[in-house]
Amino acid sequence: MPSTLGNKIRERRKQLGLTLDELAEQTDSSKSYIWELEHKDSPRPSAEKLAKIAAVLGVTPEFLVNETRKSPNPTDHDEAFFRKYQSAKPDIKDKLKRILDVLDADDTKS
């Protein structure tokens, strides 16, 4: 019987329209590893692997392992984005800052 973690990974992956192969590729995992997480009882991914999976799925690792939360909080997506931002290379961070500056300037014109 799949674990809560496995069910949440599978449900979120399907919501995003990702295949097992796509999620595996984006998280530097094998397809069989993702399948095992989704279908085996008591999977134990490393914190690093769980963080990668959560980032790709746009949720927090805490959401994935929390047995009582059935759906992500509105802030989970923001937290997942911020974690991606924190681990981004400096040039990517600079680009994102410029994009936000442009969007912010557009908002003040309205």
- The larger pLDDT score, comparing residue 57 to residue 80, is at 57
Distance from C-alpha of 51 to C-alpha of 55, rounded to nearest angstrom = 6
CATH number for the domain harbouring residue 23: 1.10.260.40
Domain that holds residue 28: 4-109
Q: How far lies 86's CA from each of 11, 59, 89, 96, 108, in Å?
A: 26, 15, 8, 12, 27
pTM: 0.69
Is 45 in contact with 53 (CB distance < 8 Å)?
A: yes
pLDDT of residue 109: 66
- Between 14 and 85, whose confidence is greater? 14
pLDDT for the residue 107: 67
C-alpha 67: how far from its chain's center? 17
- Determine contact, residues 35/53, Cβ cutoff 8 Å: no
* Number of domains the chain contains: 1
- The share of the chain scoring above pLDDT 70, in percent, equals 95
pLDDT at 39: 92
